[in-house]
Amino acid sequence: MDFNLFMGDIVESARNEITQAGFEELRKPEDVKESLSKSGTTLVMVNSTCGCAGGVARPAAASAIHYDKRPDQLVTVFAGQDREATELARQYFEGYEPSSPSFALLKDGQILKMVERHEIEGHSPVEVVNKLQDLFDQYCEEV
């Protein structure tokens, strides 16, 4: 099998999984600027093709948002795929090293907290859901 064809299927599947969960995909720098400049709270999922993204981060993202409190906006960038958009999004994550998969919670375009790869890899989806929902309790309004 052709490697690029194989990877294309994996990437497309990863994209579909997170957008079907309700996250808006930001594929271009302009998309990032527009979304992250909005007022309110925004959860950014930095997606990737690694096992902890598919086995933990994306399932946790899909589950965590079904909660009394949640961010006003749910968006995603794809590390290694939409490079310019991901690089720009990471500029908003001041004080944090690049990490994927990861989650960044912003308010009015300013970073509040991140759930980094080391808090995802080796953890269960339920543990990551709990971390995200703890952030929602601290920083988000009831829906």
Q: Quick check: 41 and 72 in contact, CB under 8 A?
A: yes
Distance of CA 66 to the CA centre of its chain: 15
- Which one is catalytic: 50, 77, 105, 140? 50
140 is catalytic: no
- Which one is catalytic: 52, 54, 96, 109? 52
52 is catalytic: yes
Number of CB atoms found within 10 A of residue 58's CB? 24
Q: How does DSSP assign the chain, residue by residue?
A: --HHHHHHHHHHHHHHHHHHTTPEE--SHHHHHHHHTSSSEEEEEEE-SSHHIIIIIHHHHHHHTSSSB--SEEEEEETTTSHHHHHHHHHTSTT----SSEEEEEETTEEEEEE-GGGTTTS-HHHHHHHHHHHHHHH--B-
Q: List active site positions.
A: 50, 52
